Amino acid sequence: MPSSDFGEVCLRCGHCVAVCPTGAFSLDWLRADECLPIRKDFALSPKKAEQFLRSRRSIRVFESEPVERSQIERLIQIACHAPSAKNAQPWSWVIIEDPLKLVELDVMLVDWMRSVIQANPEVAESLKLPRTVRLWEEGRIKLLRNAPHLIIAHVDQTWPFGVEDTALALSYVELYAPVLGLGATWSGYFYTAYNMYPPLAQAVPVPKGRKVVGAMMVGRPKFKYYRLPKRNQPKVEWR
C-alpha cells in the first residue's frame, strides 16, 4: 500500500502503473490503458543491442537538405523519455532550422574563437582554435558541420542536475537518430560559446533564469559506415 504521504512525494514517473502485471493499478492522472504495453517481440538480442550501441557514430559531415519537422519532433519526444533526477524532466528546446540563421551562428562561433585566441592564446592553442579558424577561413570546414538543424537544450539555472539530465536526453536523440535515417553529434563549440560570448546568447535568446546546457547538430549523414571501430579496453578496479 502507498504511504500516507504518497501524494506529496510522488514523482509522477508512472512506475507503479507500469509494473502492475494485470493493469489493475491506476492513478488519478494515469490509467494502465494509457500506457503502451512492452512487446516481447520487439526486444533486442544481446548481439543486436551491442551492434546498435557500437554502430553509433558522431556525424561530422551532413547533407544540407532539411529533415522533415515531424522527424525532429519525434526525436524530441523520445528524448523526453530519458531519465532525469526526481523525474523533473527539466529540459526545454529551441530548434534552429533556418539556413540563414545557421550560417549566422557559424560565423558567430568563429568570432568567439577569435576572441578567445586574442584574450587567452595559450588556452586557444591547447584547444586548437587557431587551426580551426584557419580551416574555416579557407572554406574547408563549417563549425556546425553543414547540419540543417541545431537542437538546443536549456534548463532552469537553479536546477542542480541540469547538465546530467540534459546529457541523458540528448544522448537519446543521438541514439534514436539513426533509426530514422538521421545522424547527430554534439556541438560542444556552440553550448560552450553560448555561455561565454554574449552576442551568441543574444542571437538565440532563452527565457530569463534559464541556461543552455547542450546542443546537438542533426541531419542526414553524408557518408555511411560499414564497420565497428575498436575502442580502448575498460580500466576497471574490482573492490
Q: What is the residue-averaged pLDDT of the chain?
A: 95
Between CA 64 and CA 43 the distance in angstroms is 34
Which residues are bridge partners to 155 per DSSP?
211
Kindly indicate the confidence band of residue 6, based on its pLDDT and cuts at 50, 70 and 90. Answer: low
- Collapsed DSSP state (helix, strand, coil) of residue 150: strand
At 151-171, the pLDDT tens digits run 999 999 999 999 999 999 999
Asked whether the predicted pLDDT for residue 149 surpasses 90, the reply is yes
CB 77 within 8 A of CB 132: no
Instruction: Say if strands 183-186 and 210-219 run parallel, antiparallel, or are unpaired.
Output: antiparallel
CB 89 within 8 A of CB 153: no
Q: Rg of the Cα trace of the chain?
A: 21
| Whole-number percent of the chain with pLDDT over 90 | 90
Choices 3.30.470.10, 3.40.109.10, 3.30.70.270, 3.40.50.720: CATH for 61-98+144-219:
3.40.109.10
The mean pLDDT value for 173-194 works out to 97
Closest C-alpha among 39, 36, 17 to residue 27: 17
The helix or strand, by DSSP H or E, that contains position 218, with its residue range, turns out to be strand 210-219
At 62-115, the pLDDT tens digits run 999 999 999 999 999 999 999 999 999 999 999 999 999 999 999 999 999 999
At 31-69, the pLDDT tens digits run 999 999 999 999 999 999 999 999 999 999 999 999 999
> Does the pTM of the predicted model rise above 0.75?
yes
Closest C-alpha among 152, 146, 166 to residue 67: 146
Domain residue spans of the chain:
13-39, 61-98+144-219
Asked whether the predicted pLDDT for residue 1 surpasses 70, the reply is no
Kindly indicate the confidence band of residue 183, based on its pLDDT and cuts at 50, 70 and 90. Answer: very high
**Residue written as grid cell 556525424:** 59
Q: What is the DSSP string of 66-103?
A: PPPHHHHHHHHHHHTTS--GGG----EEEEE--HHHHH
Q: Please state, in angstroms and as integers, the Cα–Cα distance from residue 52 to each residue in 47, 127, 221, 228, following that order.
A: 9, 31, 17, 10
What are the grid coordinates assigned to 130, written together?
587557431
Torsion angles phi and psi, residue 183, rounded to 5: -135, 160
Half-sphere exposure of 207 (CA within 13 A, CB side): 10
pLDDT of residue 196: 93
Asked whether the predicted pLDDT for residue 10 surpasses 90, the reply is no
Q: Which residues contact 211 (CB under 8 A, 6 or more apart)?
A: 154, 155, 157, 162, 195
Output the CA torsion sign for 228, 136, 193, 95.
negative
pLDDT of residue 9: 83
Kindly indicate the confidence band of residue 2, based on its pLDDT and cuts at 50, 70 and 90. Answer: low
The mean pLDDT value for 212-237 works out to 96
